[in-house]
Structure 1
Amino acid sequence: MKQLTIAKPVKGVGIGLHKGEPIEIILEPLEANSGIVFFRKDLNISYKAEPANVINTQMATVIGDHRGYVSTIEHLMSAINAYGIDNIRIVLNANEAPVMDGSSISFCIMLDEAGIKELDAPKKVMVIKKTIEVRDGNKFVKLIPTKEPKINYTIKFDNAVIGEQNYCFEFSKKNYIENIARARTFGFLKDVEKLRAMNLALGGSLENTIVVDDNRILNPEGLRFKDEFVRHKILDAIGDLTLLGYRVFGDYISYAGSHHLNHLLTKELLKDEQAYEIITLEKDYEKDYEKVFA
């Protein structure tokens, strides 16, 4: 099994969720062993997508340093993971990735347009060897060893519309596109003014966010899935784990997780060299892992 990149550059435009401004995005091929790289062309600065470069997880996953940053990368990262892409450059002219419709399906469409290209280097994956867990009160995220990775996610909100939801996602590209990619980000009407006072969510609208009041959904079209909320949290978690630089072969289990807990989980994992192994997918190993990339 070989490393993958995209076959040709593709360009798109969308609104930034937090700043509310139009953002141009270009996806470009990269050579083997380059990883996922974000390039701020307005600043002429590149940031590799990896836990060491995460600087904020308050409302989104943000990478950067004192010179600049790129926010809201998780939806795009999630789509890149689903397509099995190892190496890609994302060129932006602003400090966040566009939100598109609030899900990752627009990025999947861009990747379909770009096409996939095999590189002359073997694919590598991260195999979880022992359980790693991070807790905050009753909230937790953890990784457990397995060769057939799943995400088992539970959310619980004190809201009549959302309540408690659980979804178990089994990894495959087809399953992702059909059951996860279209799940949109969500927010509460009561929080909108507070966020906008913080210069956040300025680009949020009913076109890119599910907006929930005390007992109703404000979006006229309603939900895409009855449990769209927990499916979107899975979409986010896949994107956050992609910062590890490899497809992760381990069960991810979460109760009321968040970008912050996901980031702490990746840091905790990388601190313990006995907790994981990087495996090169030569022919002897391929049969154990290939179905996840189908």
Structure 2
Amino acid sequence: MIRQRTLKAVVKATGIGLHGGRRVEMILRPAAPDTGIVFRRVDLDPPVELPCDPYAVVDTRMCSGLQKDGAKIGTVEHLMSALSGLGVDNCYVDVDAPEIPIFDGSAAPFVFLLQSVGFEVQNAPKRFLRVKKAVEYVEGDKYVRLLPYDGFKLSFAIHFNHPAIDNTATDITVDFASQQYARDVARARTFGFVQDLEVLIGMGLAQGGSLDNAIVLDEYKVLNADGLRYDDEFVKHKILDAIGDLYLCGHPLLAHYVANKAGHALNNQILRVLLEDKDAWEIVTFEDDAVLPETLRGQLTIQMAFA
């Protein structure tokens, strides 16, 4: 049986919020089977719990955030990406500010935290959301699709008309039947442009942004002294974000995600399109290992070996 997983112990970390610029203390806690990923604003009295829910997603301008009963928690996508990539089904995330820490702008610090405490296999079957038929959301020349696939594969294309980005791969596919999240995706950092910074700050965003937590570009080049971590780091970060955004549905997906020029808003919209078409999806478990699809078997073998 493919079982659910949580953390073996509590782990704490402190960082800065990318958009608010505030110090944030984050505590990750184990959770019982079928809890899901639940964020908790422990600085509020009483504390407010914000379970993952595509219909609770707000403020997708530069991140994905959740809102409930007036409480918000922003920039959840990198942590959600790491939890998805390492197969964590159940976890409480306590924070004392309205944003998850940005750390270095990638999911690698979250992967390190999770791997440092390890994982506990729980006595409950892992519940996958399987896409049964293709769904699509289109907005001008941007689109995102979810297609049936017995595993988890993501294809993404970006178009920025910028020399430093155009000199890298801008169209990639990542298939976790053969690739490893921690090695192949997690280290890709968020990126932004110097010329946009003044506008973002005026919108109350990017208050904590720096060369330490983002790839920063001027009109021609990357300004970070250490350059890029991957040859395709820009588009790979879009894959990283999409993994986190999609995990807000509350279950690991069995699907092929295909996107062109998409971002947090479109990722959220495709989940809503999917969930509102009851014929397009189903919740499945694999209690008999003999019926496990080969692509999913490969994905889970790699995940368990390296998580």
TM-score grouping bracket, smaller chain normalisation: over 0.9
Contact 1:63 1:70 in 2 (8 A): yes
The whole-number CA distance in structure 2 between the counterparts of 1:270 and 1:13 is 35
Contact 2:128 2:285 in 1 (8 A): yes
Per residue, is there more strand in 1 or in 2? 1
Post-superposition shift, 1:246?
Answer: 1.1
CA separation of 1:98/1:172 partners in 2, compared to 1, >3 Å: closer, same or farther? farther
Structure 2: runs of 5+ lacking an equivalent: 303-307
Contact 1:82 1:172 in 2 (8 A): no
Post-superposition shift, 1:18?
Answer: 0.6
Contact 2:25 2:95 in 1 (8 A): yes
Match in the other structure for 1:37: 38
Point out the more displaced range, 149-158 or 69-78.
149-158
The one-letter code matched in structure 2 to 1:2 is R
Instruction: Pick from 254, 257, 260 the counterpart of residue 259 of structure 2.
Output: 254
Structure 1 residues 230-249: aligned runs within 5 Å: 230-249=235-254
Structure 1: which 4+ aligned runs deviate by more than 3 Å? none
The one-letter code matched in structure 2 to 1:215 is Y
Q: Percent identity?
A: 40
Match in the other structure for 1:162: 165
Instruction: Pick from 43, 54, 58 the counterpart of residue 55 of structure 1.
Output: 58
Q: Deviations over 1:109-143 (max 9, x none)?
A: 00001210011111111111000100111110100
Structure 1 residues 205-220: aligned runs within 5 Å: 205-220=210-225
Q: Is the partner of 1:141 in helix, strand or coil? A: strand
The one-letter code matched in structure 1 to 2:24 is I
The whole-number CA distance in structure 1 between the counterparts of 2:26 and 2:291 is 34
CA separation of 1:191/1:66 partners in 2, compared to 1, >3 Å: closer, same or farther? farther
Contact 2:131 2:147 in 1 (8 A): yes
Structure 1: runs of 5+ lacking an equivalent: none
Post-superposition shift, 1:172?
Answer: 5.3
* Counterpart check, 1:110 vs 2:113: yes
Contact 2:152 2:177 in 1 (8 A): no
Q: Is the partner of 2:292 in helix, strand or coil? A: helix
Post-superposition shift, 1:66?
Answer: 4.5
The one-letter code matched in structure 2 to 1:260 is A
Match in the other structure for 2:122: 119
Post-superposition shift, 1:290?
Answer: 3.0
Match in the other structure for 2:28: 27
Post-superposition shift, 1:149?
Answer: 2.7
Post-superposition shift, 1:281?
Answer: 1.6
TM-score (norm 2): 0.93
Q: Is the partner of 1:225 in helix, strand or coil? A: coil
Q: Is the partner of 2:158 in helix, strand or coil? A: strand
CA separation of 1:112/1:172 partners in 2, compared to 1, >3 Å: closer, same or farther? farther
Match in the other structure for 2:137: 134
Point out the more displaced range, 28-37 or 146-155.
146-155
Structure 1 residues 217-228: aligned runs within 5 Å: 217-228=222-233
The whole-number CA distance in structure 2 between the counterparts of 1:101 and 1:160 is 24
Contact 1:82 1:173 in 2 (8 A): no
Contact 1:83 1:173 in 2 (8 A): no
The whole-number CA distance in structure 1 between the counterparts of 2:136 and 2:228 is 32
Paired positions, count: 294
Contact 2:128 2:284 in 1 (8 A): yes
Point out the more displaced range, 131-140 or 276-285.
276-285
* Counterpart check, 1:183 vs 2:188: yes
Q: Is the partner of 2:262 in helix, strand or coil? A: coil
Match in the other structure for 2:156: 153
Aligned-pair Cα RMSD in Å = 1.3
Q: Deviations over 1:274-293 (max 9, x none)?
A: 10110012115663233222
The whole-number CA distance in structure 1 between the counterparts of 2:114 and 2:288 is 27
Q: Deviations over 1:88-122 (max 9, x none)?
A: 00000000000010000000000001210011111
The one-letter code matched in structure 2 to 1:292 is Q
Contact 2:151 2:177 in 1 (8 A): no
